[in-house]
Amino acid sequence: MDVELGWGRTRRRVTVSDRARVLHPPDPGPGRPWPEVVAAALAAPVGSPPLAALSGRRICVLVPDNTRKALAERALPLLLPHLAGRAVSVGIAAGKHPPSEGPPGAWVHDAHAPDLVPLGRTAHGTDVRFPREVVEADLRVLVGEIRPHYFAGYAGGYKALFPGAAGAEGIWRNHELKAAPGARLGVVEGNPCRADFEAAAAMAGPCFLLNVVRAPDDGLLAAVAGEPIAAHREGVRRARAAVEVPAPSPAGAVLVSDADPVTMNLYQACKLLPPAGRVLRDGGTIVMAAACHDGIGPVGVINEGIYRLGVVHALPPRHRVVLVSEQPPEAVAPTFAEWAPSVEAALAALPDPDDLIVMPRAGDLVPV
């Protein structure tokens, strides 16, 4: 049978065995228009007065970079009118990602900047530093998207502030917790990594959250606003129905893919491995179909900081990962993955191509 994969900027159709099992996210129905959903969320914030009623003239708005599906361009025009008459600074919460462009007039966070303001350490010992624009603001408005995340449980919430606008040392210290029990895909409560970065972010001062839950058609299933933790948890509750599926019996191979930006490089595409791990038998193979049109990414970070530290524990003890991408064999060779010229070639090399689970949109799946 033919299956359409996310792949990258464009979709790709591949032929798999008719006996393969295809695992899709639940069908949530069509999304609603962004202006309607965001306006409703801002009018009824969770755990907080409305944005217009919050005191403070200096506002710092933090939005994700281009690894987060053009969220800034969609959300900022709907948010900024609610901050009219105040001094607004817009920052691109890039974390430790490579620098990227943002909306006109926005500043881009540099985790290595020497002038980040120190605020202390968390109970875990995470160093907490933020840009002066963040620290000196009266209020920080955090914009994000709630979707599955391989070690934070679900993205969104305080992530726009920490690690989004944090210092490099603190980010690495916090991310060491991705290997701890509880720092897992779909797990929010009792997640030590999330608890640590939420404690770090709270040191910056008062914050207000605006998070969205997208539909497959790029409309919105939901939006939440208000106190960052309370609003985020409500958003996660709404998101679960659109991404959580019963895990089928494990297979000997799992084919995973997703659309850009999850498959823009291997650094991002590693997020597709934990959902595959939940349905892969010990000794099995993951075939990752990711265009990687922006390249592989920092190989040392990918191999050690992501795969070894944050992903291996989500996979069976014995496993292989085969990458099908636009990158040549020599680019893939230094990574944890094996190179294959095509999905069809990778599947043909399996011991049993019929024993296959396909996840065309693995980044939106939480098998439970």
Burial letters 35-66, b for 16+ CB under 10 A, else e: eebbeebbeebbebeebeebeeeebbbbbbbb
At 100, list the tokens: 């990227």
At 300, list the tokens: 């040392």
pLDDT confidence of residue 104: 81
pLDDT confidence of residue 103: 77
What does the DSSP 8-state code read for residue 166? S
Phi, psi angles (nearest 5°) of residue 357: -115, 135
pLDDT confidence of residue 68: 59
pLDDT confidence of residue 67: 66
- The CATH architecture one would assign to domain 34-242 is 3-Layer(aba) Sandwich (3.40)
Of 124, 267, 251, the C-alpha closest to 200 is: 124
Q: Is 145 left (phi over 0), alpha (psi -120 to 50) or beta?
A: beta
**41 Cα distance to chain centroid:** 22
Cα first-last separation, the chain: 26
How many Cα atoms sit within 13 Å of 315 on the Cβ side? 24
The domain ranges of the chain are 2-23+248-367, 34-242
- 92, 177 Cβ separation under 8 angstroms: no
- Stated as kind and residue range, the H or E segment containing 280 is strand 280-289
At 46, list the tokens: 């969770």
Of 145, 199, 148, 144, the C-alpha closest to 177 is: 199
Supply the CATH classification number for the domain 2-23+248-367: 3.90.226.30
Burial letters 319-328, b for 16+ CB under 10 A, else e: bbbbbbbebe
Q: Check for a shared fold between 2-23+248-367 and 34-242.
A: no
110-128 pLDDT, tens digit each: 999 999 999 999 999 999 9
pLDDT confidence of residue 99: 65
Burial of 168 (0-12, 13-18, 19+ CB in 10 A): middle
Per-residue tens of pLDDT for the chain, all 368 residues: 999 999 999 999 999 999 999 999 998 899 999 999 999 999 999 999 999 899 899 999 999 987 657 799 999 999 999 999 999 999 999 988 776 666 788 999 999 999 999 999 999 999 999 999 999 999 999 999 999 999 999 999 999 999 999 999 999 999 999 999 999 999 999 999 999 999 999 999 999 999 999 998 889 999 999 999 999 999 999 999 999 999 999 999 999 999 999 999 999 999 999 999 999 999 999 999 999 999 999 999 999 999 999 999 999 999 999 999 999 999 999 999 999 999 999 999 999 999 999 999 999 999 99
